[in-house]
Amino acid sequence: MKIYHNPRCSKSRQTLSLIQEKGKKIEIIEYLKNPPKFEDLELILVKLSISPIDLVRRKEEIWKENFKGRELKDNEIIQAMVDHPKIIERPIVINGTKARIGRPPENVLEIID
């Protein structure tokens, strides 16, 4: 199991704590320090069963200043997340073939048991 984690984010910290309280081992990936590659994000999106735009934090300044209102193809949105990992919604928990965004943190419970 993996978590794409931002330790400065309260939801991310809450999600990690919830998983650890369940006694689960989890690999912590601080995605701002170690951004996912394009292929990683493609795979994460498949596991989440969502489109790229649904993984974007659209209220982030980077998004609003550079991408908001533009017609972007899925691969361009994924590349934007690779180039600017701060716009990736967080936290993302992956367990095997499934993934969930921990907003709210309890969302991840269905894939960790």
Kindly list the catalytic residues. Answer: 9
* H/E stretch holding 20: helix 10-21
Instruction: Write out the two tokens for 52.
Output: 């790229």
Q: Quote the CA–CA distance of 74 and 56 in Å, as a whole number.
A: 11
Q: Are 86 and 60 in contact (CB under 8 A)?
A: yes
**Measured distance between the N- and C-terminal CA atoms of the chain, rounded to whole angstroms:** 11
